[in-house]
Amino acid sequence: MVSSAPTYCVEICPPQWRGRMTGFYNCGWFGGSIPAAAITLGCSKIESDLSWRLPLIFQAAAPFVVVLSVCFLPESPRWLMAAGREDEARAFLVRFHGAGDPHDPVVELEWAEFKEAIVDGADKRWWDYSELFNTPSARWRSLMVLFMGVFGQFSGNGLGYFITEIYGAVGYDDYQIFCLNLANSFTSAIGAGCGVAVADSMPRRKVLVWGTLACAMLLAGNGILSAMWAHLPADRKDLNVGRGAVAFFFLFNITFGFSYTPLQALYPVEVLKTTTRAKGMAMYSIAVGAISFVNLYAGPIALERIKYNYVFIFVAWDLIEAALWYFLCVETVGRTLEELEDIFSADDPVAASKRPGRVAFRRDGTVALAEA
């Protein structure tokens, strides 16, 4: 699902809706996290194994819906084109991108780019990943995928696995922690929803650079107040310090939700070619899994040994991330997937991505040229 679902979303979307639709897919995470937080809160008072069995059982509902509905989904038009089923690919574009009009300008533009860019595009060697690295263009694309795979998991959001320790360290009891977890899921979803709403016009470079810097500052606020709380005598704890630390953590998650949550699924599939998208997303999944492993198994050790100072590791790392995004991030907003081939094939993809694209029409309204 991590590899195939965002790939499918980005390939079926009309170009003008690609950001919102694919970004909204990733926000479906909150469709699970909010009910999960509410269910665990409700089950927290159960004094039996059902306190953890019931949340686990309820998680089977969503996969059951997917299993029932997936067989009715149409194939991606890019896959159809690559598989030599051109009539079906064009029929998809006419129906879903052109509202039934075969002469719609969007359909004409996409079809012209399909015929130019997708030639014998079916991947026939499942074991060969060399296309991800064998050209400068491919290496740039793979670098962007790895950036999002690593930075999207290791910008401090992994601290969410340890909210019991983070909230408990500033004076909250178990029931309050469950309530804060539910509230944090709602506020994070609002931040992510705002990011989705502007995903088709929001420059990727700016939001990743400034969003990551904001994450660093908010984590620093949380770390500083957590340190102040830890150094206060037990009989002189100031609740406002603990509340401030929690507020900074809430604001961090809202900011991360706005900046990263829509782009975690969207940006990797945008930057990959049709012929390498599946394998590129497999590589992305490996990067996500590796960093998640570090978060899950190194995080508890770090929190036990260095406590609140663990937060400052992410502050420093987020500053490094912001610098890397600034110098290396390739802008994708406002381009069709096929247009991005010219961007990544340029000598300097970062500079090329900042230049406006051009679309030329003939007198009869058909597309004559689309170039970056």
Only one residue has tokens 């394998």, namely: 279
Cα–Cα distance, 183 to 163 (Å, whole number): 12
Q: Are 191 and 258 in contact (CB under 8 A)?
A: yes
**CA distances to 223, 317, 328 from 324, in Å:** 24, 11, 6
Name the pTM for this structure: 0.85
Report pLDDT for 236.
Answer: 84
Q: Are 81 and 114 in contact (CB under 8 A)?
A: yes
Q: Are 253 and 180 in contact (CB under 8 A)?
A: no
> Quick count: other Cβ atoms within 10 Å of Cβ 125?
9
**330 token code pair:** 């390739």
> Three-state SS for 361?
strand
Nearest of 224, 166, 215 to residue 191 by alpha carbon: 215
Q: What does the DSSP assignment read for 29-57?
A: HHHHHHHHHHHHHHHTT--STHHHHHHHH
Average pLDDT, the chain: 88
DSSP H or E stretch at residue 215: helix 204-231
Report pLDDT for 124.
Answer: 60
Tell me the Cα Rg of the chain: 23
Amino acid identity at 371: E
Cα–Cα distance, 245 to 236 (Å, whole number): 17
What is the tens place of the pLDDT at every residue in 286-335? 999 999 999 999 999 998 899 989 999 999 999 999 999 999 999 999 88
> Quick count: other Cβ atoms within 10 Å of Cβ 350?
16
Cα–Cα distance, 106 to 366 (Å, whole number): 10
**Partners of residue 359 on adjacent β-strands:** 370
Name the maximum alpha-carbon separation found in the chain.
Answer: 80
Report pLDDT for 216.
Answer: 98
Q: Are 315 and 155 in contact (CB under 8 A)?
A: no
**206 token code pair:** 């700016």
Cα–Cα distance, 213 to 199 (Å, whole number): 19
Mean pLDDT, residues 157-168 taken together:
85
What is the tens place of the pLDDT at every residue in 94-150? 999 998 999 888 898 889 888 877 765 555 677 788 889 999 999 999 999 999 999
CA 360 to chain centre: 33
Q: Is the pLDDT of residue 6 over 70?
A: yes
Q: What does the DSSP assignment read for 146-183?
A: HHHHHHTTSSSGGGGGGHHHHHHTTT--HHHHHHHHHH
**44 token code pair:** 């927290």
Low-confidence winner among 63-72, 133-142, 161-170 (lowest mean pLDDT): 161-170
